[in-house]
Structure 1
Amino acid sequence: MSTESSTSSDTRAPVVILVEPQMGENIGMAARAMANFALPEMRLVAPRDGWPNPAATATAAGATHLLESATVFPDTRAAIADLTLVYATTARERGQMKRVLGPKEAVAEARPAIAGGGRVGILFGREREGLWNDEIALADAILTYPVDPAFPSLNLAQAVLLLGYEWFSQSQEGALPFAEVERVPASREMVVSFFDFLEAELDARGFYPPEKRTTMTRNMRDMFLRRGLSEQEVRTFRGVASTLMRSPRKLAGDEPAA
């Protein structure tokens, strides 16, 4: 278990501060959310059931390193003492004269603050009652989420997850972890040649009613061209069509033709 004297030195991301969390399971799930989005430091303020908590380990799903390095503080003031910018999360209007930001705006503000050498923390309150007004008064701004006002309460881990997603998304400039497999576009000559082949075979089999042939061929070409075919896709379609248009094989057990 970490103590106040072993505060993490990783200052590249916001610190997640859970104030008097009541259930170890929620602490573990919050750690998992932090690991998903590269938030490396968890601080705990007077967890109800003490620390460490086996229930947290059970729900961390591989993020136990964050639990092992978590720092425990006796109160909120001590937990934020070394920070230079603090946001307090709440789902309710508290009547305090503070700026109110959504996760996107808060992260956009926190990123340059961290880059400039500042330390940023996000306060998350108790599962049942959230943060107290006196705790919110210690923060620079309020962080709230755009949720349905008829049901605004979020699970503790969900709140951490949403903040983490916004942090990581902006850090990666929206880049996804992997991209679509590169497709080599088919040349127009290759595609038109396939159309000529397909339409000739369909003509030979009487597929088109004479009065509808022009419209049907045009519509079919539109269907294939709507997506943009790759070379491999054209080869596959042509192979499928060639196979279907061959004379059917004689099935086992068929009687020979008279």
Structure 2
Amino acid sequence: DHFMMVVNAANWENDWQWVNQKAEGFDVQLADQSESTALLAVQGPEAVEKLQPFTTADLGAVRFYHAVSGTVMGFPAWISRTGYTGEDGFELYIAPEAALPIWEELVNQKGVTPAGLGARDTLRLEAGLPLYGHELSRTISPVEAGLERFIKWDKSFVGREALIDMKDRGLTRQLVGLTVTGGIARAGYPVYADEADWMGQITSGSYAPTLKQAIAMALVPPAWTTPGTSLKVGIRDRKADATVVPLPFYRRPRNKS
């Protein structure tokens, strides 16, 4: 069996060390292919239409969160129907020398626009997707981050007992979505219950172009997580109004793929 792991780029060294530690004593071979692999993402509602002319893969037949092997402009590629924008799209795992010619051909198409991490971060925030170092870290558990639906409690895994203990003791904080009036809440800004003392912290925040509204995610005590709850966010020298809302902020229309 072969498995490919794609981890947060800013945290890859820690992840690589951790996997190597856990692999000790098992019949497994590990290879770090970071330097020999490039990744391009084609994201948006027209991703199939824009990418299909350049690949041998039948993109319409690729299910979400699945991958196929094929070629893109003649270059070997793994093509996965994944991304971190909340939109339909594909990620192309290719050799580094293939990245530039594929990039240039794709962005020369009408309706295809280059986008960087700033755009990606705004989109993932609108979709309520957590980012390592913000909504997830070594001190923020997946239970606190609202990811319990992805935890297989009936299976054994590293950290299972710690998470069960956390649930049994009761959470002290949970991730919520906020709409903010009167400013942009940035990571690290304090959250208050009305005019009371500090009780939480913004993990990510931005203006959401799709919603035409400032939004944020924050970690706050469970008593303040009910949608409709009014809070305050410290923005510079004042406190802006915020309201708890369900996540995600925006959910794209789904097709049948």
Q: TM-score, normalised by structure 2?
A: 0.19
Report the structure, 1 or 2, having the larger helix content: 1
Greater share of residues in strand: 2
Higher relative contact order (CA 8 A, sep 6+): 1
Structure having the higher Rg? 1
Normalization by structure 1: what TM-score?
Answer: 0.19
